[in-house]
């Protein structure tokens, strides 16, 4: 005789499985939202404040500490786990969804956003930390599971939590940030967070809480949802107004790529490019910078030139003017910069990146160099200042060692090295790092009004330092001539050479140097 379970028992088990599946799905969704909030804070830190190692470490460590604090603080509320969970999700959706907008607006209108960043990290971490104890309590309640399978419940909960974190971690850089931007991306995440809480309320908690409590919870969720939908709709206006306050001139183009925030402004004939808020050039005086960067690297007559960075196309423009230069390889990481160079900035660069002599490669400079053994007559390293670890690796001794493999035996390399006045230590650190890679170097500097005193490093492999010179067949130049270049190699006492340890991949000293500025 075969025993069968009572129909009511079967229905109870099926209901329990459905309850568990929906609750675990909510766990995954909330975990995805939690990791997106943290990534949004890290992205904002990088875009608004430079996002150095210290700031990143504080955000990550503070978030993890807040997770533990939230788990402890929620303990007295565990007897009312159901309604507390809804309250936590409402708060998390609002705080997380508004975090990017609050940080951006604070930075634009007040100028300092560190306290908002710290507060947002603490609140989001604490609320996310409260989720797991609450969900575990719900899973172990009498209507869900017996106490005998606690380990199984914990395994399911942990798996759903980590899987959701994976989905959230991939969604931010590949979907939300490039498609919606920081403010709208965070708001959309908050909406997902609230929808997940609403699903739990409608399909699960109606069996646990009373009708009045359920109505209150749904009302709070609806109000929070309306707030975030309003933010999502009006985000572009908030972004435009806040962003324009950061720039003196009208913004004519804005992009937020996977790598950086790109802004182009124009006032009259003055076109300016900003990357993550840092000025890259002004058409009022960029010719001073560009001529000083390009022509000393050409020596007696370079034919092939490699440009690392310089996605604005200005270096390529000057190279195309130089007789004899027949091949230019332009390696730029961000395709959005190239797109803007070919459209919005075309008037400044003369359409140089569409010239058949210019071959544009979209790649990381260090990765591209590892796979290249071409012998270029000149290499121009025109990269943004190393104020982040990602850029710091491109100012390391190891990086310059890779560049040497791409140089012809008598080829010259020139590196934009920042200001020997306002970032003196960083400038001489670059000189030391190039020397440590086996080059003989000649530093020089010129005055660029929008930048101030600006320096470069001219280098050649071996022990004989190169003498900076303007090619005899150079086209007519607006700023650079041999007398100017000769004077450029002289440094006054307040910016005198300093022997420093090189910056390496293992110890990127230059990142902190440039953050400290003049010392």
- 222 and 320 fall within a common domain: no
Strand boundaries in 289-433, DSSP class E: 304-309, 327-332, 358-362, 376-382, 407-418
- Alpha carbon distance 246, 249 (integer Å): 9
Give residue-wise pLDDT tens across range 158-204.
888 889 989 999 998 888 888 888 888 999 999 999 998 888 777 76
Q: Does some domain include residue 483? A: yes
pLDDT band at 40 (very low <50, low <70, confident <90, very high): confident
End position of a domain, from candidates 244, 267, 299:
244
pLDDT at 145 (0 to 100):
47
Q: Is 236 in the same domain as 292?
A: no
Write the CATH number for 292. Answer: 3.40.50.150
Number of domains in the chain: 2
Residues 306 and 329: beta-carbon distance below 8 Å = yes
Which tens digits make up the pLDDT trace of 391-424? Answer: 999 999 999 999 999 999 999 999 999 999 999 9
Q: For 452-490, give the DSSP string.
A: EEEEEEEEEESSS-------TTPPP-SS--HHHHHHHT-
Is 503 within 8 Å of 429 (Cβ atoms)? yes
Q: Let me know whether 356 and 505 are in one domain.
A: yes
Q: Which of 368, 354, 404, 391 is nearest to 510 (CA)?
A: 391
Half-sphere exposure of residue 505, counting CA atoms within 13 Å on the CB side?
A: 8
257 inside domain: no
CA distance 257 to 382: 20
pLDDT tens profile 421-432: 999 999 999 999
* Residue 6 reports pLDDT greater than 60: no
Identify which of 308, 497, 505, 498 has the alpha carbon closest to the alpha carbon of residue 397. 505
pLDDT for 353 = 97
Task: Identify the weakest region by mean pLDDT among 73-87, 344-358, 494-508.
Answer: 73-87
Q: Is 504:398 a contact under the CB 8 Å cutoff?
A: yes
Q: Measuring CA to CA, which residue among 65, 76, 201, 181 is closest to residue 128?
A: 65
9, pLDDT greater than 70:
no
DSSP secondary structure string for all residues of 276-296: TTEEEEETTTHHHHHHHHHGG
Do 380 and 386 contact (CB within 8 A), yes or no?
no
* Together in a domain, 325 and 239: no
Rounded Cα distance between 43 and 256, Å, is 11
> For the domain that residue 121 is a member of, what is the CATH number?
1.20.1250
8 Å CB contact between 331 and 308: yes
In whole angstroms, give the CA distance from residue 88 to residue 74.
10
Residue 255 in domain: no
Residues 227 and 291 in one domain: no
Cα–Cα distance measured from residue 234 to residue 182, given in angstroms and rounded to the nearest whole number: 13
Torsion sign (Cα): 169, 172, 173, 174:
positive
Higher pLDDT, 27 or 280: 280
CA–chain centroid gap for 491, Å, is 35
Closest CA relative to residue 397, chosen from 507, 517, 513:
507
Distance CA 369, CA 389 (A): 19
Is 276 labelled as part of a ligand binding site? no
β-pair type (270-275, 278-282)? antiparallel
Domain containing 438 equals 285-516
Question: How are strands ordered across the β-sheet holding 251-256?
Answer: 251-256, 261-267, 270-275, 278-282
* 3-class DSSP assignment, residue 503: coil
In a domain, 428, yes or no: yes
Q: Range with the lowest mean pLDDT among 265-269, 274-278, 293-297?
A: 274-278
Percent of the chain having pLDDT more than 90?
A: 56
Q: Is position 312 annotated in a ligand binding site?
A: yes
Active site residue 49: no
Cross-strand bridge partners of residue 445: 455
Query: What percentage of the chain carries pLDDT values higher than 70?
Result: 90
Q: Identify whether residues 315 and 190 lie together within a single domain.
A: no
Q: Which DSSP symbol is given to 121? A: H
Among the ranges 39-48, 75-84, 469-478, which has the highest mean pLDDT value?
A: 469-478
Answer yes or no: is 21 within a domain: yes
Distance CA 440, CA 442 (A): 7
Length of the chain: 519
Residue 332 annotated as lining a ligand binding site: yes
Q: Does residue 1 belong to any structural domain of this protein?
A: no
Rounded CA-CA distance 309/306 in Å is 10
Inter-residue contact 29 to 164 (CB < 8 Å): yes
215 with 291, same domain? no
Which residues, in sequence order, are bridge partners of residue 261? 256
* 260 annotated ligand binder: yes
Three-state SS across 28-90? HHHHHHHHHHHHHHHHHHHHHHCCCHHHHHHHHHHHHHHHHHHHHHCHHHHHHHHHHHHHHHH
- Residue 270, pLDDT > 80, answer yes
Point out the least confidently predicted range of 12-26, 72-86, 208-222.
12-26
Give the residue, 381 or 10, on which the prediction is more confident: 381
Q: Is the dihedral of CA 433, 437, 441, 446 positive or negative?
A: negative
Q: Is the pLDDT of residue 2 over 50?
A: no
Report the pLDDT value the prediction gives residue 1, as an integer from 0 to 100.
44
SS3 string, 161-172, reads HHHHHHHHHHHH
37-74 burial, b if ≥16 CB within 10 A, otherwise e? bbbbbbbbbbbbbbbbeebbebbeebbeebbeebbeeb
Residues 69, 216: one domain? yes
pLDDT tens, residue by residue, 309-345: 999 999 999 999 999 999 999 999 999 999 999 999 9
- The CA–CA distances, whole Å, from 260 to 21, 86, 274 equal 39, 36, 10
**Out of 276, 382, 387, 513, which one is annotated catalytic?**
382
Residue 29 lies in a domain: yes
Last residue of a domain, one of 192, 216, 244: 244
Residue 421: helix, strand or coil by DSSP?
Answer: coil
Separation of first and last alpha carbons in the chain: 90
Query: Does residue 351 sit in the same domain as residue 209?
Result: no
pLDDT of residue 311: 96
The answer to whether residue 331 sits within a structural domain is yes
- Looking at 244, 261, 295, the residue that finishes a domain is 244
Is 140 in contact with 132 (CB distance < 8 Å)? no
């Amino acid at each position: 005789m075969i025993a069968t379970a009572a129909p009511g028992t079967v229905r109870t088990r099926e209901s329990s499985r459905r309850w568990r599946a929906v609750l675990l799905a909510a766990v995954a969704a909330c975990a995805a939202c939690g990791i997106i909030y943290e990534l949004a804070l890290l992205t904002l830190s990088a875009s608004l404040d430079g996002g150095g190692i210290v700031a990143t470490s504080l955000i990550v460590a503070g978030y993890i500490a807040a997770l533990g604090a939230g788990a402890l603080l929620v303990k007295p509320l565990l007897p009312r786990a159901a309604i507390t969970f809804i309250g936590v999700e409402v708060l998390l959706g609002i705080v997380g969804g508004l975090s990017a907008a609050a940080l951006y607006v604070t930075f634009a209108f007040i100028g300092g956003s560190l306290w908002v960043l710290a507060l947002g990290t603490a609140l989001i971490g604490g609320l996310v930390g409260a989720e797991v104890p609450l969900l575990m309590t719900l899973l172990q309640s009498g209507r869900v599971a017996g106490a005998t399978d606690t380990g199984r419940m914990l395994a399911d909960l942990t798996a759903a939590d980590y899987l959701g974190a994976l989905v959230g971690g991939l969604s931010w850089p590949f979907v939300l940030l490039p498609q919606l931007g920081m403010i709208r991306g965070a708001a959309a995440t908050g909406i997902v967070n609230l929808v997940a809480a609403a699903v739990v309320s409608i399909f699960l908690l109606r069996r646990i809480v009373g009708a009045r409590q359920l109505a209150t919870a749904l009302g709070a969720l609806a109000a929070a949802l309306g707030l975030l939908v309003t933010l999502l709709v009006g985000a572009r206006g908030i972004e435009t107004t806040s962003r324009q306050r950061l720039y003196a001139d009208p913004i004519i183009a804005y992009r937020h790529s996977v790598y950086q925030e790109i802004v182009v402004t124009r006032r009259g004939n003055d076109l300016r490019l900003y990357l993550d808020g840092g000025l890259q050039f002004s058409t009022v005086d960029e010719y001073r910078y560009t001529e000083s960067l390009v022509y000393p690297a050409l020596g007696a007559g370079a034919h092939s030139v490699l440009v690392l960075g310089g996605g604005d196309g200005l270096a390529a423009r000057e190279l195309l003017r130089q007789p004899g230069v027949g091949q230019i390889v332009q390696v730029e990481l961000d395709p959005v910069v190239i797109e803007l160079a070919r459209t919005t900035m075309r008037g400044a660069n003369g359409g140089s990146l569409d010239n058949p002599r210019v071959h544009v490669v979209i790649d990381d400079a260090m990765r591209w160099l590892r796979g290249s053994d071409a012998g270029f007559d000149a290499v121009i390293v025109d990269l943004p200042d190393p104020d982040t670890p990602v850029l710091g690796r491109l100012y390391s001794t190891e990086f310059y060692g890779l560049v040497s493999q791409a140089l012809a035996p008598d080829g010259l390399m020139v590196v934009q090295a920042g200001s020997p006045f306002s970032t003196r230590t960083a400038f001489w650190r670059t000189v030391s790092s190039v020397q440590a890679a086996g080059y003989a170097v000649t530093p020089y500097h010129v005055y660029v009004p929008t930048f101030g005193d600006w320096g470069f490093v001219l280098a050649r492999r071996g022990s004989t330092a190169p003498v900076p010179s303007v090619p005899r067949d150079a086209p007519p130049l607006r700023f650079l001539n041999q007398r100017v270049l000769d004077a450029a190699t002289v440094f006054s006492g307040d910016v005198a050479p300093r022997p420093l340890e090189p910056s390496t991949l293992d110890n990127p000293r230059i990142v902190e140097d440039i953050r400290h500025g003049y010392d």
